[in-house]
Structure 1
């Protein structure tokens, strides 16, 4: 396999990566709090033997990972006064099934039988100081959540939902609608802005993703056409060499 074949192969691998990301975005267009992903590539330049003419450097495509589009999704009313949407950057902290702290923007909130606030999946929501918020039985049906995250019952404030912000490069999807995060900072009450009574929809645009998939398909077809053309050229060269011999 010559250098040009390796270059085309790296391009096709990058196109496959783009297609996987676009397909995952489309699959999650109705997932609450989902942020569309965008793959990131960079050029990798390999120095070749000085005898190779005319080029002495070859550029390959290197998969550099993916970044999240942090644009907010639309507010979706749910009729549940406990459901919240984060109005701005950041994530709610929850206790993951493995006991670690995970983060999510899916703001479905309910009260467990134990009186603790939790997500729709049953993961306990962590408030200030990483502690769960516990609601007394007499307050369970009279809860409200303020724009600063304060959870109040009939007897007054109970706790506060905290929002943690990160450098998005430090966010790692877990595959269960939650993220692992590192080096985050909890926002103060004055910095926090929540909307209650609904959740944040996905920020995926179906038309954009479908158009991107069409462009990826056309680029792959072009790459395949070039590969076939190169194979024909090799075959013709071998045939001519055979006749000369």
Structure 2
């Protein structure tokens, strides 16, 4: 296999990665708090000592570097549950992940767990101010409200505050694979900095039309790459035939 074939192969691998990410975005159109992902690629440049021409000494390949997520806010979706919240701005809800680690999410579907603590729809305990869970007394369970600063109140008064954690760079916030995000070095917002909308959640920020158009573009690029591969194969076959006649 010559250099041109390797270049085309790296291009097709990058297209496959783009298609996987776009398909995952489409699959999460209805996922609460989901952030659209987009792949990031780097050039790998190889310099050869000898080549037919000077320009051919430098060859650029495509390398999969990772993925970033679009931080654009999704639309507010009313749910009728006074505990459900949408973060109005940057940041994440902190939850207790399996194993005791802290994970993060934008999905604000909140309810009272059997243990009496506030938790997510998936069963993780919500971590409030100072990283502590918010426990709800039995007499308050049916009469709860969440203020814009995250304060949770019941019939007996204030019960705790939902904390929002922000990070210096979104590049360090990565999917864990279980619907949660992993990150470190975050800062917990104060009550005056916290902005929550209760009674609803943040919808996915995936735009179906944009993702569909992207998938069509990927398909066309792959078809063009395949045509180039076939053209080079035909050219090599003709060259071999001609050399055979000369011999």
Where does residue 35 of structure 1 map in the other structure?
A: 35
Q: Distance in 2 between matches of 1:102 and 1:42?
A: 29
Match of residue 90 from structure 2: 89
SS at match of 2:104: strand
Query: What TM-score results when the alignment is normalised by the length of structure 2?
Result: 0.97
User: How much has 1:174 moved relative to structure 2?
Assistant: 1.5
Post-superposition shift, 1:51? 3.5
> Unpaired segments of 5 or more residues in structure 1?
none
Offset at residue 53 of structure 1 (A)? 2.1
Report 1:207-222 matches (<5 A). Answer: 207-222=209-224
Structure 2 residue 239 is matched with structure 1 residue 231? no
Deviations 1:89-148 (A, max 9, x none): 111000112211110110011112221101011110001111100111111111110001
Q: How does 1:1-245 map to 2 (within 5 A)?
A: 1-54=1-54, 55-166=56-167, 167-245=169-247
CA distance in 2: counterparts of 1:163 and 1:205, whole angstroms: 26
- Provide the rounded CA distance (Å) in 2 between the counterparts of 1:94 and 1:51: 57
- Once residues 37 and 146 of structure 1 are traced to their aligned partners in structure 2, the CA distance between those partners, rounded to angstroms, is 31
Displacement, 1:83? 0.3
Work out the CA distance in 2 between the residues paired with 1:51 and 1:103: 52
DSSP-derived class of the 1:228 partner: helix
